[in-house]
Amino acid sequence: MSPVSIYPSSIDEQRKLKCITVGAGISGILAGIRLPQYIPNIDLTIYDKNSDVTGTWYENRYPGVACDIPAHSYQLSFEPNPNWSHFYASGKELHDYWQGVANKYGVTKYTKLSHKVTGAEWNEDANKWFVTVENLLTKESFIDDCDILYVCVGTLNDWRWPDVKGLHDFKGELLHSAAWDESWDAKGKNVAVIGAGSSAIQIVPTLQKVVNRLDNYVRGKTWISPPFAAAEVEKHTSSEANFEFSEDELKRFREDPEFFLKYRKAIEDEIQGAHHTTFIGPDSDAAAALFLKNMEVKLANRPDIFKALIPSFPPGCRRLTPGPGYLNSLVQPNVNFITTGIDHITETGLVTVDGVHREVDALICATGFDTTYTGRFPIKGRNGKLLNDHWTPYPSSYLSITTDGFPNLFTSFGPNSALGSGSLSMMLEKVCEYVTKTVSKMAYENILTVEPKKEAVDNFVEYCRQYFKKTVFSKPCRSWYKGGKMEGDIISLWPGSSLHAIWAFSHPRWEDFNYTYVEGNPMAWFGDGWTETERRVDGDRSYYLNPDQLDTPPVAASTSKRA
């Protein structure tokens, strides 16, 4: 018997869908804006373990925390902020901005804070996700269900202590950059900072100004880049010491929208123009020469540090960061730059492999996160398969957003989604746009499940492997791009430029998915022969003549003259 039947709905009627979004950081906030905007009858809940929105910018409160790309390139395209006080905005400013966005666009009404998702399982019979949630205030757990599960927990979210013998024997103040104790006062203390990644290079110059002694333990080598969009920094801000905008400049940003847009576009144009340096060859070599000169000048008084920091791998193999003030702080008399490996930690300090024991009052670990994509809450797809198992050893996805065997599951900032260059916030906007288009398609076309074809997932994985062979990311260097390994597959980066990603997400290839339909009816999308407009008494049945609906082509210029 044919599964085709007349489905009792208008062809343009949206089926009500329920969506659970995990995480209220930038991606979760975007979901709270765009999903209700384009799917007005969606039932949306955003769960977040924290007591406030903004994710990264709520959690990270260490001294000196700031955006390490220009703030004007780290905001929503439709919500420009002319009030950033610094070129690299502080963590507090970033939190306030994103919290303001959430409030302005009504995201908070969908958000349940202090609610931690602890598991999710696909139910084949119900064609739904059953999500286990813990209320962190009451300690009670419950199960919620949804048609769509949108995971927005980010990549750098699951922090880890370093694996150093005796770490928790230390009797002084033990801190991690991702779980900072704001009550701790560093003034006049002797402090050790382990690491030279993006967090450490913000912590070190900030604490250097107030501590008695700072020991920076650096295991690997790293490039410290000049400021991004350097020409705009020089034109619009004060010295490199703080990259602060003057009141006159801020006033001009606020009062002259045309000038402000021109400034924003100049920043974006430069940020988006660095893709060519990610390929092995002359452009990468030129970038290395520029970075080398910048570091050499700033470390002129400490050639030993310069020699110890300069890597053998090209810039970009590990995540680039400008680190304002970091190199300057390393040459100060109260800073010790230590490259000798740590053997173990005692109750009072650190012992390096050469036997030297350095006592400190506080030990700060800026040692990163689990970047394997398998440390999150358990997600079980078809046949009870765990996503962690599915993503071991390679976190395979289709365009970083979906994967086979896990219907109606979407991720933002998932595998192969980060950028080696370009605008991250714009990319996250487009990921949300892609998810919104997909969910809208499900609502309008009475699609029960959507899932990428395994062939599409395999093809994307193979494309990534071939693409990255010609890039600097493939060179030997320990990087979260490779899941913390020295060599191997690039599991975190998008295989292309930011503009390439924006185009891909703006034009979904619906043929790369498998679909099932409500009641098994492949013509359910076609409805019952009516539209919603006809069913409403006040419906505009000639809407296609309205000026905003007309698609008027350009008039051809005459190419001939009458004789």
pLDDT per residue over 178-213, tens digit each?
Answer: 889 999 999 999 999 999 888 999 999 999 999 999
pLDDT of residue 44: 98
Predicted pLDDT of residue 229: 65
Total domain count, the chain: 2
The SS3 call for residue 382 is helix
On whether residue 560 sits in a domain, the answer given is no
User: Which of the listed residues 305, 340, 365 is the one where a domain comes to its end?
Assistant: 365
**What pLDDT shows up at residue 242?**
66
- Give the burial class of 8: count Cβ atoms within 10 A of its Cβ; 0-12 exposed, 13-18 middle, 19 or more buried: exposed
Angle at 367 between CA 209 and CA 461, to 5 degrees: 135
Residue range 240-260: mean pLDDT, rounded: 88
Q: Which two tokens stand for residue 88?
A: 């690299």
Q: What is the pLDDT of residues 324-354, one digit of tens each?
A: 899 999 999 999 999 999 999 999 999 999 9
pLDDT at residue 157 is higher than 70: no
Does residue 543 lie in a domain region? no
Query: Does 315 map to a domain?
Result: yes
| Cross-strand bridge partners of residue 351 | 344, 357
Decide if 430 is inside a domain.
yes
Is pLDDT above 60 for 562?
A: no
Average pLDDT of the segment spanning 33-49: 97
Instruction: Give the residue from 173, 194, 171, 193 showing the smallest Cα distance to 182.
Output: 173
Residues 291 and 356 in one domain: yes
C-alpha angle 480-486-492 in degrees, rounded to nearest 5: 30
What letter would DSSP give residue 372?
Answer: S
* Sheet strands (E) in 366-492: 379-380, 409-411, 447-452
Residue 276 has pLDDT above 50, yes or no: yes
Stretch 384-413: mean pLDDT: 96
* Chain center to CA of 382: 27
547 occurs within a structural domain = no
Least Cα distance to 35 among 412, 514, 545 occurs for 412
Residue 414: pLDDT over 50 = yes
Indicate whether 522 pLDDT > 70.
Answer: yes
Domain membership of residue 258 as a residue range: 182-365
pLDDT value at 155 more than 80: no
Q: Which residues partner with 213 through β-bridges?
A: 190
Q: Name the burial class of residue 532, with classes exposed (0-12), middle (13-18) and buried (19+) by CB atoms within 10 angstroms of its CB.
A: middle
Q: Say whether both 376 and 359 belong to one domain.
A: no
Look at 151 and 228; give whichever has higher pLDDT.
151
| pLDDT one-digit tens code per residue, 527-560 | 999 999 999 989 999 999 999 999 999 999 875 5
Residues 360 and 471 in one domain: no
**Please, which pLDDT band fits residue 136 given cuts at 50, 70 and 90?**
very high
Q: What percent of the chain has pLDDT over 90?
A: 83
Contacts for 71 with CB less than 8 Å, ≥ 6 apart: 81, 84, 86, 87, 88, 89, 93, 94
Residue where a domain terminates, one of 365, 389, 415: 365
Residue 384 burial (CB count, 10 A): 9
Report how far Cα 384 is from the mean position of its chain's Cα atoms: 28
For residue 560, what pLDDT is reported? 53
Same domain, 211 and 329: yes
Which residue, chain included where needed, has tokens 């994103």?
A: 98
Question: Can you say how many angstroms the Cα of residue 339 is from the centroid of all Cα atoms in its chain?
Answer: 31
Residues 406 and 391: beta-carbon distance below 8 Å: no
Tell me which amino acid residue 108 is: T
Over residues 455-480, mean pLDDT: 95
CATH of the domain at 516: 3.50.50.60
Q: Is residue 404 domain-shared with residue 510, that is, in the same domain? A: yes
Cα(500)–Cα(35) distance, rounded to whole angstroms? 24
Contacts with 513 (C-beta within 8 Å, 6 or more apart), sequence order = 450, 451, 452, 453, 456
Task: State which of 345, 365, 385 marks the end of a domain.
Answer: 365
pLDDT of 479 over the 50 cut: yes
- 154 pLDDT band, cuts 50/70/90, is confident
Whether 9 is in a domain gets the answer no
One domain, residues 222 and 358: yes
Q: Is the pLDDT of residue 22 over 60?
A: yes
Structure tokens at 296: 């050499």
Give me the pLDDT at residue 563, please.
46
Do 199 and 306 fall into the same domain? yes
Q: Are 298 and 361 members of one domain?
A: yes
| Residue 459 sits in the same domain as residue 324 | no
Question: Would residue 555 count as lying in a domain?
Answer: no
Helices (H), 324-416: 326-330, 387-390
pLDDT at 319: 84
- Asked if 488 contacts 476 with a C-beta cutoff of 8 angstroms, the reply is no
Question: Which pLDDT does position 420 carry in this prediction?
Answer: 85
Residue 322 is predicted with a pLDDT of 81
- 260 and 359 inside one domain: yes
Residue-averaged pLDDT of the chain? 93
Cα(101)–Cα(199) distance, integer angstroms: 25
Is 459 a domain residue?
A: yes
Same domain, 293 and 243: yes
pLDDT digits (tens, 9 = 90+) for 429-442: 999 999 999 999 99
Predicted confidence band at 299 (pLDDT cuts at 50, 70, 90)? very high
How many Å from the N-terminal Cα to the C-terminal Cα in the chain? 69
Cα 155 to Cα 395: distance, rounded to the nearest angstrom: 12
Q: Is 339 helix (H, G, I), strand (E, B) or coil?
A: coil
Same domain, 146 and 190: no
The runs of H, that is alpha helices, within 123-244 are 200-208, 230-236
